[in-house]
């Protein structure tokens, strides 16, 4: 038979182990809850950056329609409408409305005023400071494309600063589409200016034919690196500013102190003004580099 004192010692150790196990389970549960809370806080802060199938407004919250994926040549393409698509369309409709309003205002007066005058300032700037210096007199015919690119990117950038809004240019698919159109325009301007023969000849780089196997792949690669740089530059700059804002606001929830909240809120206001400047700057840079690349193709053979 087991000794009574020994039995009491075993029971005491057993109860101690059970209490310790219960404590560990409680700590683990609290840690898991804190981790889930941190993840939910992180997700809520970054919701402004991520694309989703729902749109949130002050008093509305609705799901966007979703469609079955389409399979083409082994690729799965999802044609469902997302939040960035909605703001992409909103930017297009807003651009058309503002352009028609400016045109109507300018046709009624010999001297533009108000909104029409403001739009004309941007048009003259893009013509005199972007199209003509980079593309020469022949660049005037491409001015409608450059103006559309500038204003469209600008409106999409500014929509990301509106409460409950989203910046479609923070989606690499959107900037990739803009870069693809820029790629087509760059090649079209070069072919139209040089002719197909001279356009194909410039891929050799003007070197001896023995170096063509090296030079031609490099030149072809260079055709794609230019629009790729446009795509990533616009995407990274528009995403980076919002991430900085999310990080600053997140400090308020992390420290949970009114004293700590003063500094991040002040810096966030400053970043918002900087983001407003970046919205105009990135629209200008994308348009300027596109016209520069188009001008290089048009002037390759001295045209």
Residues constituting the chain: 303
| Number of structural domains in the chain | 1
The pLDDT value given to residue 195 = 86
Tokens 């929830």 sit on residue: 253
* The pLDDT value given to residue 24: 35
Q: Is residue 51 part of a domain?
A: no
Across all residues in the chain, what is the average pLDDT?
A: 80
Residue 252, in any domain of the structure: yes
Per-residue pLDDT tens over the stretch 259-275: 778 888 888 888 888 88
Residue 299 exposed, middle or buried by CB count within 10 Å (0-12, 13-18, 19+): middle
Distance CA 281, CA 273 (A): 12
User: Per-residue pLDDT averaged across 180-209, rounded?
Assistant: 87
Cα separation of 215 and 201, whole Å?
A: 11
**Cα–Cα distance, 253 to 164 (Å, whole number):** 20
* Residue 141 in domain: yes
Burial (CB count <10 Å: 0-12, 13-18, 19+), residue 275? buried
The pTM score is 0.79
Q: What residue ranges in the chain does DSSP mark as E strands?
A: 54-57, 60-63, 70-72, 75-77
- 293 inside domain: yes
* CA–CA gap between residue 262 and residue 255 (Å, rounded): 12
Chain mean position to CA 113: 33
**What is the span of the domain harbouring residue 293?**
84-298
Instruction: Kindly report the number of other CB atoms within 10 A of residue 126's CB atom.
Output: 21
Determine, yes or no, domain membership for 6: no
Pure H helices in the chain: 4-46, 83-108, 114-126, 132-135, 143-159, 172-194, 196-201, 212-255, 258-298
Tokens for 96, please give them.
């058309």
1-10, 35-44, 87-96, range with the lowest pLDDT: 1-10
Is residue 1 in some structural domain?
Answer: no
The answer to whether residue 10 sits within a structural domain is: no
Mind listing the pLDDT tens digit for each residue in 236-260? 998 888 888 878 877 877 787 777 7
**Is a pLDDT exceeding 60 seen at residue 4?**
no
> Is 152:181 a contact under the CB 8 Å cutoff?
no
Helix axes 172-194, 258-298, angle to 10 degrees: 20
pLDDT digits (tens, 9 = 90+) for 67-119: 888 888 888 887 888 888 899 999 999 999 999 998 888 787 777 778 888 99
pLDDT score recorded for residue 30: 40
Residue 267 CA to residue 244 CA, distance in Å, equals: 10
- Identify whether 34 is part of a domain: no
What are the tens digits of pLDDT across the range 282-291? Answer: 999 999 999 9
CA pair distance 18, 15, nearest whole angstrom:
5
Pair 191, 202: CB distance under 8 Å? no
């Amino acid at each position: 038979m087991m000794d009574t004192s020994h039995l009491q010692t075993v029971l005491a150790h057993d109860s101690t182990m059970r209490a310790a196990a219960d404590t560990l389970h409680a700590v683990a549960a609290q840690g898991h809850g804190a981790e889930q809370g941190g993840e939910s806080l992180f997700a809520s802060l970054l919701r402004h950056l991520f694309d989703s199938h729902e749109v949130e407004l002050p008093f509305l919250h609705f799901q966007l329609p979703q469609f079955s994926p389409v399979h083409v040549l082994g690729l799965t393409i999802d044609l469902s409408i997302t939040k960035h698509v909605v703001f992409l369309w909103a930017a297009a409709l807003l651009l058309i409305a503002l352009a028609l309003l400016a045109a109507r205002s300018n046709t009624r007066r010999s001297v533009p005023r108000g909104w029409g005058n403001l739009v004309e300032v941007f048009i003259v700037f893009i013509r005199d400071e972007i199209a003509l210096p980079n593309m020469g007199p022949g660049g005037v015919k491409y001015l409608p494309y450059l103006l559309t690119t500038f204003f469209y990117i600008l409106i999409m950038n500014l929509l990301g600063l509106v409460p409950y809004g989203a910046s479609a240019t923070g989606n690499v698919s959107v900037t990739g589409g803009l870069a693809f159109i820029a790629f087509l325009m760059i090649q079209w301007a070069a072919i139209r200016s040089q002719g197909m023969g001279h356009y194909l000849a410039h891929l050799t780089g003007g070197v001896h034919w023995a170096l063509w196997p090296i030079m031609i792949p490099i030149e072809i690669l260079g055709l794609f690196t230019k629009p790729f740089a446009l795509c990533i530059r616009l995407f990274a700059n528009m995403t980076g500013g919002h991430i900085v804002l999310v990080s600053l606001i997140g400090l308020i929830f992390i420290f949970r102190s009114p004293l700590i909240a003063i500094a991040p809120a002040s810096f966030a206001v400053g970043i918002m003004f900087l983001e407003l400047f970046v919205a105009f700057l990135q629209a200008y840079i994308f348009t300027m580099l596109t016209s520069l690349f188009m001008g290089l193709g048009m002037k390759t053979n001295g045209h």
